[in-house]
Structure 1
């Protein structure tokens, strides 16, 4: 097959206007209007409203191209759009080729009889999504998320573009992925399904044994190849396919189809398999593991298609040799729900991923890699792709394969109901097939999930339902159509009907003892952080807490000091959950003194967020085995906004992301303290008494037993030790171990705190501190913090106890090996990973006042 990309010479305009503007493809309408000075920055102040109005219009794109001879002489010539955002009409040389009505699908048009050798005019008209959904909603009042524009469920377009409780109303459009001319000689490979059979050594019959054996737990892997070839034309947008596995099928022209397979091992060694192999055996395989459990070894599989001995197409992908499923077994608490990789149950640690930008043209392999590398920096081993966006580009999964991030992949349905007409069903069926075939080979793909929160909110609470047929359509879509397609096209990947769910059939979808849970009593329910400790979820796939982004990020959407207030019009315009800034203030009242300045308020809000999620994750990890997943909401933002993200839109790390690096550490020492924060105390109440104690726990999420030494100390505000203790212990691989509870009846509420640390092989791996009082009541001494940079090392000195020490530079763009950490009096050194060390500043909770 011969290809020619069509990415140069594009121009665009509002339909009906005379002036053409230079355009970028792949790109978007907003991106081109912005580049040509025809719109203001949609993120600046309240320009979102003006940008939304621009999508009341239709836009057209056009370019001219010559068709090369090596494509003209092929049997078939296809115009291939790797997604169009959508609703679009496509024309070639004035002739209408067809329409595109799904952002999540490939669109191809056979132009063999229409294309000329030179001066072909390609034209794409993108129709107003706003008008489309309004008209669709008038005809069928199907309901969905209240933060979105009415009618968004009727268009197969990323839902978040129409608004969310963290997203703006910015329904961009465009030719946002590549456009290609394809010259096909006789046929082409549609796809290759690779199934894996692993032979496990007899000793590897438990998590502990697998951990001890590692890669040696599997003696050989057999790859089963199923090669599908497209031999005929396109009918109603769907290609006609033939199975050529084993080379037994003849094409429509009588030619004999065969293929050759080539496997390149991680060390570069190649092996070639002739005569259309159906099975390939790999001895002494190097297994792919999630981050923290082993290496991310990848094999390259190349399949070359031949017609009567002549090469006509090639398919090449990277795969990982691994098994991945969800372990669901009855146990003393209900039913476990855990990722099982190569036979070992792993604890999922990560966050929910939303689209990276409202302007699709800004999302590149480089932006995605930077984001996902920051996820791995924080010791993630999992990412959940949320169902209100779009299926990410191939590079997203390639990077997850490389970094060891297991992908929980939602299908693109969220917080709504859908009308399953015959046309809608045909549309989404093709969407599912294309995306399953595209993504299924990736080592990182952990599971397919039908939708986000529809089983829970739509049916448990009867939200948005207007007629009984919507219940029927739900079952047809998520418990029949999608699982049938997954079973057919990706039979070795686990399917889960919804998130949260207990397995489907409307059977208590948020049951804490089965399946996955979205837990929002902390935040939406205004419960204290310690509320997490009342629950032992099997897998928490959503829980979160909001914080403001960096002041430097806020300065990218306003330069008016009047706006630097949590309750200003612009700050609340960039806060999509109404009254949420007040909620932050409510939690702040419980925890910290009133911040006297906006920048201090931002700092305090980030500490609240970080501690809220820390309370949950540490509790879940202390109960490993019962709980096997902690995926917090959310990793990233798509525009500068106050939200639940741990990385803001400009890529700046909030306090939560540094906390995540610590609470997702493979070896974690955490402390379950009892004090004011756990007692919901009222100090003005008679008999104001509560326990003052700690109970330490070591969680070992590695494949090796750990021999560690744990130390604790009761201290005064100047960090002097009042009482201390030490214990050495062995923590088996893939377990968590409790130490005995320690009571501190002598501790003074406002003037004693506890520090703790864990050492292994002479290195402090995990440490922290806890107070028995609310942080706002603790009698901090001025730690007189100072810091100095020498090369890529920053040294921080404290003269007294310092809580949540933040180091920053003038641009607030540092990435450090550690930040927002606790210090006893003394010295701490951190490495600079990104950013300059000019004009360093340092602060702690002492400065919140």
Structure 2
């Protein structure tokens, strides 16, 4: 197959206007208008409203190209679009080729008889998405998320573009993925399905045994290949396929079709198997493991298709040798729900991923790599692709393969109901088939999930339902159509009907004892952080807490000091959950003194967020085995906004991200303290009594036993030790171990705190502190923070107890090996990973005043 990219020479205009503007393909309408000075920055102040109005128009894109003879003389010539967003008409040399109506699909048009040697004109007309959904809503008033524009459910376009409780109303449009001209002789490979059979050694009969054996737990892997080849054109956008596995099939023109398979091992060793093998055995396999459990070894598989001995096409992908399933077994608490990789139950640690930008042209392999590197920096081993966006580009999954991030992949449905007309069903069926075939070979693919929050909110709480047929359509879509397609096209993958769910059939979809849970009593329910400790979810796939982004990020959308106030018009315009800034203030009142300036308020908000999620994750990890997943909401933003993210839109790390690096550490020491934060009592009551105690726990999420020494101490504000303890213990692989409770009835509520640390292999690998009082009541002494910089290291000195020490530079873009950490009096040294040291500043909770 011969390919010609069509990415140069594009121009665009608003339909009906005379002037054509330079355009980028791949790219988007907003991106091109912005680069040509025809719109203001949609993220600046309240320009979102102006940008939204621009989507009331249609836009035209045009380019000219020549078609080389080798393509024209091919048996077939196809015009191929990897992504059109969304309602589009495509013309070649003035002739209408067809229309597109889903950004989640590939669109191809046969142009063999239409393409010229030179001077071809390709024109794409992108129609107004806002007009489309408005008209569709008038015809069928199907409901969805209140934060979005009405009618968004009727268009197969990323839902978040129409607004969310963290997202703007910015429904961009464009040719957002590559455009190619394809010359096909005789046939082409449609796709290759690779199934794996792992031959496990007899002694690999438990998690512990497999952990001890590692890769030696599998003696060999048999790859079973199913190769499909497209033979006879396209009907209604769908190729006609033929299975060529076995090498004895013939295409419509009578030629014999066969293929060879080349496999390149991680060490570069290559093997070639000819004569269309249906099975290939790999001896002494190097398995793929999630981050923290082993190496991310990848094998390259190349399938070369021949017709009568002549190479006509090839397919090349990287795969990981691994098994990936969900462990669901009845136990004393209900039913477990855990990723099982190579036979080992893995505790999932990570965040929910939303689209990276409202302007799709800005999302590149480089931007995605920067974000996912930050995820791995925080010790993620999993990431959930949320169902209100779009299926990420191939590079996203490539990076997850390389970084060991298991992908929970939602299909693109969220917080709504859908009208399953015959046309809609045909459209989404093809969407599912294409994306399952595109993504299924990735080692990182953990599971397929039907939708986000529809089972729970639509049916358990009767949200958005207007007629009985919507219930029927839900079951058809998510419990019949999608699972059938997954079973057909990715038969070894696990399918889950919704998130959260207990397995479908409207059977208590947010049951804490089965399946996955979205837990929002902390935040939406205004419950205290300690509320997490009342629950032992089997897998928490959503829970979160908001914080403001860095002041430097806020300066990217306003330069007016009047806006630097949580309740200003602009700050609330960049806060999409109505009243949420007040919610942050409510939690702040419970925890910290009133901040005296906006920058300190931002710092305090980030500490609230970080502690809220820490309370949850540490509790879940202490109960490993019962709980097997902690995926917090959310990793990233798509524009500069106050949100639940731990990495803001500008890429700056909030305090939560550093906390995540610690609470997702492979071996974690955490403390379940009892004190004011867990008492939930009115301190002015006559009998305001509560226990003052600590109970330490070591969670070992590695494949090796950990030999550790744990120390703890009761201290005063100067960080002087009043009394302490120490214990050395062995923590088996893939377990958590409790130490005995230590009571401190004599502790002074406002002037005593407890520090704890864990040493392993001569290094302190985990530490922290807890207070028995609310932080706002603790009598901190001024720690008189100072620092010295030597090369790529910063050494901080504290003269007294310092809580949540922040190190930042002038641009607030430092990335350090640790930050927002607790200090006893003394020094701590961290490494500079990114950024410079100009204008270094330090602060701690003492400075929230």
Q: TM-score range by the shorter chain?
A: over 0.9
Shift of 1:789: 1.2
Per the alignment, residue 623 of structure 2 pairs with 623
> Helix, strand or coil for the counterpart of 2:669?
strand
CA deviations on 1:676-699 (whole Å, 9 max, x unpaired) are: 000113211101110000000000
Q: Matches of residues 185-584 of structure 1 in structure 2 within 5 Å?
A: 185-584=185-584
Per the alignment, residue 809 of structure 1 pairs with 809
- Write the distance in 2 (CA, Å) between the matches of 1:571 and 1:788: 36
Q: Matches of residues 79-118 of structure 1 in structure 2 within 5 Å?
A: 79-118=79-118
Q: Matches of residues 606-755 of structure 1 in structure 2 within 5 Å?
A: 606-755=606-755
Per the alignment, residue 46 of structure 2 pairs with 46
- Write the distance in 1 (CA, Å) between the matches of 2:789 and 2:523: 38
Q: Indicate whether 1:77 and 2:77 are aligned.
A: yes
- Write the distance in 2 (CA, Å) between the matches of 1:247 and 1:190: 16
- Write the distance in 2 (CA, Å) between the matches of 1:8 and 1:246: 41
- Write the distance in 1 (CA, Å) between the matches of 2:249 and 2:169: 51
- Write the distance in 2 (CA, Å) between the matches of 1:414 and 1:669: 37
> Helix, strand or coil for the counterpart of 2:249?
coil
> Helix, strand or coil for the counterpart of 2:699?
strand
- Write the distance in 1 (CA, Å) between the matches of 2:515 and 2:344: 18
- Write the distance in 1 (CA, Å) between the matches of 2:380 and 2:236: 43
Shift of 1:69: 1.2
CA deviations on 1:267-323 (whole Å, 9 max, x unpaired) are: 000000000000000000000000000000000000000001100000000000000
Per the alignment, residue 833 of structure 2 pairs with 833
- Write the distance in 2 (CA, Å) between the matches of 1:502 and 1:480: 17
- Write the distance in 1 (CA, Å) between the matches of 2:211 and 2:353: 29
- Write the distance in 2 (CA, Å) between the matches of 1:605 and 1:69: 63
Per the alignment, residue 787 of structure 2 pairs with 787
- What is the count of residue pairs matched by the alignment? 849
Q: Indicate whether 1:774 and 2:774 are aligned.
A: yes
> Helix, strand or coil for the counterpart of 2:831?
strand
> Helix, strand or coil for the counterpart of 2:242?
strand
CA deviations on 1:96-134 (whole Å, 9 max, x unpaired) are: 000000000000000000000000000000000000000
> Helix, strand or coil for the counterpart of 1:695?
strand
- Write the distance in 2 (CA, Å) between the matches of 1:767 and 1:657: 16
Per the alignment, residue 56 of structure 2 pairs with 56
- Write the distance in 2 (CA, Å) between the matches of 1:438 and 1:446: 15
Shift of 1:434: 0.1
Per the alignment, residue 139 of structure 2 pairs with 139
CA deviations on 1:642-663 (whole Å, 9 max, x unpaired) are: 0000000000000000000000
> Helix, strand or coil for the counterpart of 1:245?
coil
- Write the distance in 1 (CA, Å) between the matches of 2:788 and 2:20: 55
Shift of 1:788: 1.8
Shift of 1:83: 1.1
CA deviations on 1:76-109 (whole Å, 9 max, x unpaired) are: 0000000100100000000000000000000000
- Write the distance in 2 (CA, Å) between the matches of 1:595 and 1:769: 22
Shift of 1:266: 0.1
CA deviations on 1:665-712 (whole Å, 9 max, x unpaired) are: 000000000000001132111011100000000000000000100000
TM-score computed with the length of structure 1 as normaliser: 1.00
Shift of 1:791: 0.7
Per the alignment, residue 585 of structure 2 pairs with 585
- Write the distance in 2 (CA, Å) between the matches of 1:689 and 1:168: 47
Q: Which runs of 5+ in 1 are unaligned?
A: none
- Write the distance in 1 (CA, Å) between the matches of 2:399 and 2:374: 12
Shift of 1:220: 0.2
Shift of 1:358: 0.1
Shift of 1:248: 2.0
- Write the distance in 2 (CA, Å) between the matches of 1:711 and 1:202: 41
> Helix, strand or coil for the counterpart of 1:505?
coil
Q: Please identify runs of 4+ aligned residues in structure 1 that moved more than 3 A.
A: none
- Write the distance in 1 (CA, Å) between the matches of 2:499 and 2:768: 33
> Helix, strand or coil for the counterpart of 2:584?
helix
- Write the distance in 2 (CA, Å) between the matches of 1:244 and 1:433: 19
Q: Indicate whether 1:765 and 2:758 are aligned.
A: no
Q: Matches of residues 126-165 of structure 1 in structure 2 within 5 Å?
A: 126-165=126-165
- Write the distance in 2 (CA, Å) between the matches of 1:88 and 1:409: 27
Provide the alpha-carbon RMSD of the alignment: 0.3
- Write the distance in 1 (CA, Å) between the matches of 2:589 and 2:763: 38
- Write the distance in 2 (CA, Å) between the matches of 1:680 and 1:552: 36
- Write the distance in 1 (CA, Å) between the matches of 2:306 and 2:669: 58
CA deviations on 1:431-451 (whole Å, 9 max, x unpaired) are: 000000000000000000000
> Helix, strand or coil for the counterpart of 1:163?
coil
- Write the distance in 2 (CA, Å) between the matches of 1:214 and 1:340: 14
CA deviations on 1:565-586 (whole Å, 9 max, x unpaired) are: 0000000000000000000000
- Write the distance in 1 (CA, Å) between the matches of 2:220 and 2:626: 32
- Write the distance in 2 (CA, Å) between the matches of 1:277 and 1:607: 57
Is 2-11 or 683-692 further displaced after alignment? 683-692
Shift of 1:713: 0.2
- Write the distance in 1 (CA, Å) between the matches of 2:278 and 2:47: 57
- Write the distance in 2 (CA, Å) between the matches of 1:687 and 1:463: 43
Per the alignment, residue 176 of structure 1 pairs with 176
CA deviations on 1:779-799 (whole Å, 9 max, x unpaired) are: 000000011211100000000
- Write the distance in 2 (CA, Å) between the matches of 1:83 and 1:423: 20
> Helix, strand or coil for the counterpart of 1:51?
helix
- Write the distance in 2 (CA, Å) between the matches of 1:249 and 1:587: 68
Shift of 1:70: 1.3
Shift of 1:741: 0.2
Q: Which runs of 5+ in 2 are unaligned?
A: none
- Write the distance in 1 (CA, Å) between the matches of 2:549 and 2:762: 37
